[in-house]
Amino acid sequence: MFVAKNAWSALRRHPWRNLLTLIVSLLVTLWSAFGVAVLHEYNEAHGARYDQLAPLGVFTPSDLSKVQAQGDNADSTKNYMTWDAYNGIGAAANEKNATFGYTLIDSVPVRGDGKLKPVAGAQQADVDADETGGDFTLQSYLSEQAVAANSYGSYRIVDGKGLGYEDVTRHDLIMSKSLADKNGIKVGDKVTLGNAKDAKTTYNYTVCGLYEYTDPASGSAQFAKYVRDNVLYTTYYSFAADDLDPLDASGWQRPDVNVVFMFQGIAQYNAFKQAVKDVKLPSGYRLSSPTIDQYERSLKPLDSLAANTRLMLIALWSIGGALLLALTLLQVLPRREEIGFALQVGVTKGRLAWQFMNEILWPTLLGAAIGLIVGCCTANPLAGNFVDGHSFTLPGALVWNLIWISVIGCLVLAAIAGIRVAAFPTAQLFASPYLTRDDEDSADDRTDDDADDHDDTASTTEKEQA
| Segment 74-129, tens digit of pLDDT | 999 998 998 889 999 999 999 999 999 999 999 999 999 888 999 998 888 888 88
Question: Are 216 and 280 found together in one domain?
Answer: yes
Q: Which of 220, 254, 288 is the last residue of a domain?
A: 288
Long-range pairs for 72-75 at CB < 8 Å and ≥24 separation?
A: 72/124, 72/127, 72/131, 72/132, 72/223, 74/131, 74/133, 74/250, 74/251, 74/252, 75/251
* pLDDT digits 0-9 by tens, 339-354: 777 777 777 777 877 8
Helix (H, G, I), strand (E, B) or coil at 241: helix
Q: Which of 226, 254, 288 is the last residue of a domain?
A: 288
Question: Are 181 and 238 found together in one domain?
Answer: yes
Number of domains in the chain: 2
Question: Are 124 and 234 found together in one domain?
Answer: yes
The end-to-end CA distance of the chain, in Å, is 86
Please check whether residue 68 lies inside any domain of the structure.
yes
The model carries a pTM of 0.75
Q: Can you give the residue range of the structural domain that contains 302?
A: 2-48+297-430
Question: Are 93 and 38 found together in one domain?
Answer: no
Please check whether residue 108 lies inside any domain of the structure.
yes
Question: Are 44 and 80 found together in one domain?
Answer: no
Please check whether residue 448 lies inside any domain of the structure.
no
The vertex-109 CA angle with 108 and 113, nearest 5°, equals 130
Please check whether residue 442 lies inside any domain of the structure.
no
* pLDDT values of the chain reduced to their tens digit, one per residue, 466 residues: 657 776 676 677 778 888 998 999 999 999 999 999 999 999 999 998 898 899 999 998 888 888 888 889 999 999 899 888 999 999 999 999 999 999 999 999 999 988 899 999 888 888 888 899 999 999 999 999 999 999 999 999 999 999 999 888 889 999 999 999 999 999 999 999 999 998 899 999 999 999 999 988 777 889 999 999 999 999 999 999 999 998 888 999 999 999 999 999 999 999 999 999 988 888 889 999 999 998 998 899 999 999 999 999 999 999 999 999 999 898 888 878 777 777 777 777 778 778 777 788 889 999 999 999 999 999 989 888 888 888 898 899 999 999 999 999 999 998 998 888 788 777 666 555 555 555 555 555 555 555 555 555 545 445 444 4
Question: Are 259 and 351 found together in one domain?
Answer: no
Residues 6+ apart with CB under 8 A from 307: none
- Residue 224 C-alpha from the chain's centroid: 36
Question: Are 135 and 267 found together in one domain?
Answer: yes
Residues 6+ apart with CB under 8 A from 383: 34, 37, 38, 41, 305, 390, 392
Q: How far apart are CA 326 and CA 334, in angstroms?
A: 12
Please check whether residue 435 lies inside any domain of the structure.
no
Question: Are 251 and 362 found together in one domain?
Answer: no
Please check whether residue 465 lies inside any domain of the structure.
no
Question: Are 169 and 238 found together in one domain?
Answer: yes
Question: Are 125 and 211 found together in one domain?
Answer: yes
Is the Cβ–Cβ distance between 226 and 137 less than 8 Å? yes
Question: Are 61 and 187 found together in one domain?
Answer: yes
Please check whether residue 437 lies inside any domain of the structure.
no
Question: Are 168 and 144 found together in one domain?
Answer: yes
Total count of residues recorded for the chain? 466
| Residue 191: CA count within 13 A, CB half-sphere | 29
Q: What are residue 262's DSSP bridge partners? A: 56, 101
Please check whether residue 446 lies inside any domain of the structure.
no
Pick from 342, 364, 368: which is nearest to 353 by CA?
Answer: 342
Is the Cβ–Cβ distance between 347 and 3 less than 8 Å? no
